[in-house]
Amino acid sequence: MRNEVNPELLAVFRGDAEKAAVCLRGLSAGSGLAEEDIKLFITTVHAMKSALANIGENEKSEAASALEKAGWDGDKEFIAAKTDNFIKSLEDLIKNISPAETVNDDNILTEDILFLVEQLRIIKSACENYDDTTAYAAFDRLKEKPWKNETSAALGELRSLLFLHSDFDEAAKQAVVLINTAVLLDY
**pLDDT for res 175:** 94
User: How many other C-beta atoms can be found within 10 angstroms of the C-beta atom of residue 37?
Assistant: 16
| pLDDT tens digit sequence for 119-158 | 999 999 999 999 988 998 998 899 889 988 888 888 988 8
Residue 103: pLDDT band by 50, 70, 90 thresholds? very low
**pLDDT for res 44:** 93
Which stretches within the chain are classed as H helix?
7-28, 38-54, 58-73, 76-97, 113-128, 132-143, 149-163, 168-186
pTM above 0.75, yes or no: no
Spell out the long-range contacts of 120-129 with Cβ–Cβ below 8 A and sequence spacing 24 or more.
120/175, 120/178, 120/179, 120/182, 121/175, 121/179, 123/158, 123/171, 123/175, 124/172, 124/175, 124/176, 124/179, 127/162, 127/168, 127/169, 127/171, 127/172, 127/175, 128/168, 128/172
User: How many other C-beta atoms can be found within 10 angstroms of the C-beta atom of residue 82?
Assistant: 16
Q: Tell me which of 35-49, 76-90, 124-138, 152-166 is least confident.
A: 152-166
**pLDDT for res 157:** 85
**pLDDT for res 29:** 55
CA-to-CA distance for 155 and 161, rounded, in angstroms? 10
| CA nearest to 85, candidates 130, 25, 129 | 25
Q: How many CA atoms lie within 13 A of 117 on its CB side?
A: 12
Residue 18 predicted with pLDDT over 70: yes
